[in-house]
Chains A and B, each alone.
Chain A
Amino acid sequence: MTATVPGPARTFLGLPTAPRGVGHLRGDESFPDAARTALRDGQLRANLGHATSTIRGKRARVVAELPDWAELREAGRALKAATMARLDDHLEELERQVTARGGTVHWARDANEANEIVTRLVLATGASEVVKVKSMATQEIGLNEALEAVGLDVFETDLAELIVQLGEDKPSHILVPAIHKNRAEIREIFARTIPGVDPGLTDEPRQLAMAARAHLRERFLRARVAVSGANFGIAETGTLTVVESEGNGRMCLTLPETLITVMGIEKVVPTWRDLEVFLQLLPRSSTGERMNPYTSTWAGVTPGDGPQEFHLVLLDNGRTAVLADEVGREALHCIRCSACLNVCPVYERTGGHAYGSVYPGPIGAVLSPQLTGVEDNASLPYASSLCGACYEVCPVAIDIPSILVHLRSEHVEAQEKPNAEALAFRGLARAMSNPRLWHLAQRASRLGRLFARGRPTLPNALPPPISGWTRSRDLPTPPTSTFVESWTREHGR
Chain B
Amino acid sequence: MKVALFATCLVDTLTPTVARATATLLERLGHEVVVPTGQACCGQMHVNTGYRREAVPIVANHVRAFAGAEAIVAPSGSCVASIHHQQADVARRAGEHRLAADAAELAGRTYELSQFLVDVLGVTDVGAYYPHRVTYHPTCHSLRLLKVGDRPFRLLRAVRGLELVELPGAEQCCGFGGTFAVKNADTSTAMLTDKMANVLSTHAEVCTAGDASCLMHIGGGLSRLRAGTRTVHLAEILASTEEAVTPNQTTRPAMSV
Contacts and interface: CB of A to CB of B under 8 A. Distances in A.
B54 interface: yes
B256 A480 contact: yes
Contact of A388 (B37, B141, B221): B141
A491 B41 CA distance: 22
Interface string A400-426: 000001001111110000000110011
A428 B9 CA distance: 11
A483 B48 contact: no
Given A433-B61, A487-B35, 5 more contacts: A36-B186, A408-B48, A425-B54, A426-B54, A486-B16
A32 interface: yes
Nearest to B189: A472
Interface string A25-68: 00000011001100100000100000000000000000000000
A372 to B, nearest CB: 18
Contact of A425 (B7, B46, B177, B216): B46
B13 interface: yes
A408 B180 CA distance: 12
11 contacts: A35-B184, A39-B190, A350-B187, A386-B180, A405-B47, A409-B53, A473-B217, A474-B220, A479-B14, A479-B16, A488-B37
A389 B14 CA distance: 28
A191 B224 CA distance: 46
A386 B257 contact: no
B184 A481 contact: no
A206 interface: no
Tell which of A349, A383, A486 has the most Cβ of chain B within 10 Å: A349
Interface string B174-198: 0111111111111111111000000
Interface string B4-33: 000101011111100110010000000000
Interface in A423-440: 425-426, 428-435, 438
A207 interface: no
A486 to B, nearest CB: 5
B144 A481 contact: no
B250 to A, nearest CB: 10
A42 to B, nearest CB: 11
B252 interface: yes
Given A349-B190, A405-B48, A469-B182, A385 B140 contact: yes
A405 to B, nearest CB: 6
A222 to B, nearest CB: 46
A435 B46 contact: no
B232 to A, nearest CB: 13
B204 to A, nearest CB: 19
Interface of A: 31-32, 35-36, 39, 45, 345-346, 349-350, 381-389, 391-392, 405, 408-413, 421-422, 425-426, 428-435, 438, 442, 445, 456-457, 460, 465-466, 468-469, 471-484, 486-488, 491, 493
B244 interface: no
B123 interface: no
A32 B184 CA distance: 5
A465 B180 CA distance: 12
Tell which of B145, B187, B188 has the most Cβ of chain A within 10 Å: B187
A50 to B, nearest CB: 14
Contact of A482 (B12, B53, B189, B224): B12
Contacts of A433: 40, 57-58, 60-61
Top 5 closest A-B pairs, CB basis? A385-B177, A456-B253, A473-B220, A408-B50, A433-B57
B39 interface: yes
Contacts of A386: 48, 140, 177-178, 180
A409 B51 contact: yes
B55 interface: yes
- Tell me if B's interface is mostly helix, strand, loop or mixed: helix
Contact of B61 (A31, A434, A488): A434
B191 to A, nearest CB: 5
A472 B192 contact: yes
Given A411-B50, A468-B181, A479-B14, A345 B172 contact: yes
B249 interface: no
A406 to B, nearest CB: 8
Given A386-B177, A426-B54, A468-B185, A477 B13 contact: no
A70 to B, nearest CB: 13
A282 to B, nearest CB: 23
B52 interface: yes
Nearest to A429: B54
Nearest to A472: B189
B19 A469 contact: no
Interface in B197-221: 216-217, 219-221
Nearest to B176: A385
A488 B190 CA distance: 41
A369 B70 CA distance: 43
Interface in B146-193: 171-173, 175-192
A326 to B, nearest CB: 10
Contacts of B41: 432, 438
Interface string B86-113: 1000000000000000000000000000
B254 A479 contact: yes
A132 B252 CA distance: 56
A482 B9 CA distance: 10
Contacts of A445: 13
Contacts of A473: 181, 189, 192, 217, 220-221, 223-224
A445 B16 CA distance: 14
A345 B191 contact: yes
Contacts of A476: 14-15, 216, 220, 252-254
A389 B144 contact: yes
Contacts of B38: 435
A170 B86 CA distance: 38
B65 to A, nearest CB: 7
B14 A435 contact: no
Contact of A408 (B35, B49, B192, B253): B49
